[in-house]
Amino acid sequence: MPELRHAVREYLGDPCCEVQFCVSELVTNGIRHVDEGAPVRVRVSRREDGGPRIEDTDPDPRALPVLLHATATDEGGRGLVLLDAMALRWGVEQGATGKTVWCEL
């Protein structure tokens, strides 16, 4: 994942901790919740207003992200809550052969 965060920083050309976190979270969730070895595509772009949009596309239209509220003893389940707090908005676009989870900062 460090290589991915570095590539994002190089692409945007400035410090972008929030973008790097969101990329890491979306990709980690995509890898964790689809079949092992399934291709995952990441796209980072700028909207017309200059803000970043991050998209993570995978081939499983069924494995949808769920916003959980982890307890103090849970070892996971906080990433999407943090992404939700950072993002202006986020969502899922489902297709017949996959889905794209996206967020805008």
> Domain spanning 2-104 has what CATH number?
3.30.565.10
Question: Hey, where are the domains in the chain?
Answer: 2-104
User: CA 33 → CA 5, 9, 27, 50, distances in Å?
Assistant: 20, 26, 10, 31
pLDDT value of position 15? 67
Extract the runs of DSSP E, i.e. beta strands, from 16-88: 41-46, 52-58
DSSP state of 49: T
Whether the Cβ atoms of residue 82 and residue 71 lie closer than 8 Å to each other:
no
pLDDT over 90 (residue 103): yes
Query: Is 32's pLDDT higher than 90?
Result: no
C-alpha 28, offset from chain centre: 8
pLDDT score recorded for residue 6: 80
Q: What's the pLDDT tens digit per position in 35-61?
A: 778 888 999 998 999 889 999 999 988
